[in-house]
Structure 1
Amino acid sequence: MSGVVYWLDMTGVIVFALSGVVLACRSRMDPFGMLVLAAVTGIGGGTLRDLVLGIRPVFWVSDPTYLWVILATVGVALLGFHYIHRLSRRFLPVADAFGLALFVVIGTHKALLLGTSAVVAVVMGIMTGVAGGMLRDVLARRVPMVLREEIYATAAMVGGIVYAGLYTLGAPLYATIAISLGATLGLRLAAIRWRLALPQFAWVKVAPKVEQGDSALSTPKKAKERVRMIRRQRRR
């Protein structure tokens, strides 16, 4: 792994670990709970990725620096607990968006270096970016961000496709990283700001048409079920 990618990975671990600390504070967890959420968020996605790709040992076992970085992040957060506690509710999704963008690049890049196909590399990028946050939210008894209305996994997929495509075309590494980061981060932040969401499909009952000549005593027609595309109202 090149130096720039390694430091991007470390930055992603710090950002995601900090988001875990913030959520632990909001959930009124003790310092051990903060450490667990920080670790799960920071290295959970990459661990799952390495296990799926058959990499042994996983990255944080071969390089314990990741663990020390998580410990340092939690330690600094404890020292500045009052500042962490005052962070607005907007901080968590924004920090999560930065971590998502960074980890999509890392996961896709690592899979491509192992010689996987572009499709597999994109899946690994999504897994690296999404899995840690999902585990964090589940442990905190929250609905994972990936399952909410706003675009989340789609942003990761777009960033992964951009990275895999540019990498396959032989684009410079720095340009590939910057464009992929911008695609994922820009789409995710736009989704947070304007509540962008994909359309949803659901079974809805369609009332039968009342034709002229039907008497009031005739057998009522049953409502039919149809699959319709629906959009939820924006929350204000």
Structure 2
Amino acid sequence: MSIWYLTDLVGTSVFAISGALSALSKKMYHDLFSIFFISFLTAIGGGTVRDVIMGAHPIAWIRDPNYLIVIIGSVGVAVLCRRWLQGVLRRPLLVFDTVGIGIYTILGMQKALSFGVNTWASMLLGVISALFGGVIRDTLVNDLPLIFDRQLYATPCLAGAVLYQIGLILALDPNLNFILSASAITLIRLVAIRRGWSLPRINS
């Protein structure tokens, strides 16, 4: 079992928890299927879109049952520990979402590069892998998707993707390159949330 496979499962779990927390924030306490459905689409949405674009078949969660097992377990953790999470983390949904986009941007880019995709397309596919599940989640719970908000969301992913590509050029250790790039995405996003950073508005 490789470190990248385990990291992919961790990312799946993080996004599944963010989906469950989003559903629970809408008071879906008595509809476990709806919570699971939103968590499932949040967890696999971006990776599935990326793989369909690349023609990568069979798609991971269809081939490997461990992804569904991780999602089910993550939903259980989110439901059972929601009060603890809300007590420990001021904004648990944003924290899990932020960690998820950091992991999945780089994992998505790695997979795209392994399929021979060019550098620029691999960066875009990494961003799609990271963000599309969140777009589905927010749409299903009737929230404005974060990518359409003014706050920095896609920009940290692009910055991390560029940093990862620089690491490849410099022949950094693959594990170190992954950690630095994913951490940069997470850190930029968390600081942007904390300080209210956003891109300038385009005047009409």
TM-score (norm 1): 0.81
SS at match of 2:202: strand
Bigger relative CO (Cα 8 Å, ≥ 6 apart): 2
Match of 2:124 in 1: 123
1:59 deviation in Å?
Answer: 1.0
Report the CA distance shift for 1:133/1:8 in structure 2 as closer, same or farther (over 3 A). same
Alignment RMSD: 1.7
Higher Cα radius of gyration: 1
Q: Distance in 1 between matches of 2:16 and 2:111?
A: 21
SS at match of 2:58: coil
* 1:5-46 deviation per Cα after TM superposition (whole angstroms, max 9, x unaligned): 211111111111101111111112211111011101111100
Match of 1:165 in 2: 166
Report the more deviating stretch, 162-171 or 35-44.
Answer: 162-171
The answer as to 2:40 corresponding to 1:63 is no
Contact 2:86 2:92 in 1 (8 A): no
Report the more deviating stretch, 130-139 or 69-78.
Answer: 69-78
Contact 2:11 2:104 in 1 (8 A): yes
Match of 2:7 in 1: 8
1:79 deviation in Å?
Answer: 3.4
1:84 deviation in Å?
Answer: 5.3
1:162 deviation in Å?
Answer: 1.3
1:121 deviation in Å?
Answer: 0.8
Q: Distance in 2 between matches of 1:49 and 1:138?
A: 19
1:95 deviation in Å?
Answer: 1.1
Q: Distance in 2 between matches of 1:163 and 1:60?
A: 25
Match of 2:112 in 1: 111
Contact 1:45 1:130 in 2 (8 A): yes
Q: Distance in 1 between matches of 2:72 and 2:60?
A: 16
Match of 1:138 in 2: 139
SS at match of 1:100: helix
Report the CA distance shift for 1:33/1:85 in structure 2 as closer, same or farther (over 3 A). farther
SS at match of 2:203: strand
1:75 deviation in Å?
Answer: 2.3
The answer as to 2:196 corresponding to 1:198 is no
The one-letter amino acid paired with 1:5 is: W
Q: Distance in 1 between matches of 2:109 and 2:192?
A: 22
Contact 1:97 1:188 in 2 (8 A): yes
1:83 deviation in Å?
Answer: 3.6
Report the CA distance shift for 1:77/1:89 in structure 2 as closer, same or farther (over 3 A). same
Structure showing the higher helix proportion among its residues: 2
Q: Distance in 2 between matches of 1:54 and 1:190?
A: 36
Contact 1:25 1:85 in 2 (8 A): no
% identical equivalent positions: 33
Structure showing the higher strand proportion among its residues: 1
- Show structure 2 runs of 5+ residues with no match: none
Match of 2:18 in 1: 19
Q: Distance in 2 between matches of 1:150 and 1:77?
A: 26
Match of 2:180 in 1: 179
Q: Distance in 1 between matches of 2:143 and 2:94?
A: 13
Report the more deviating stretch, 123-132 or 76-85.
Answer: 76-85
* 1:135-157 deviation per Cα after TM superposition (whole angstroms, max 9, x unaligned): 00000000011111210000111
- Show structure 1 runs of 5+ residues with no match: 204-236
Report the CA distance shift for 1:184/1:88 in structure 2 as closer, same or farther (over 3 A). closer
SS at match of 1:165: helix
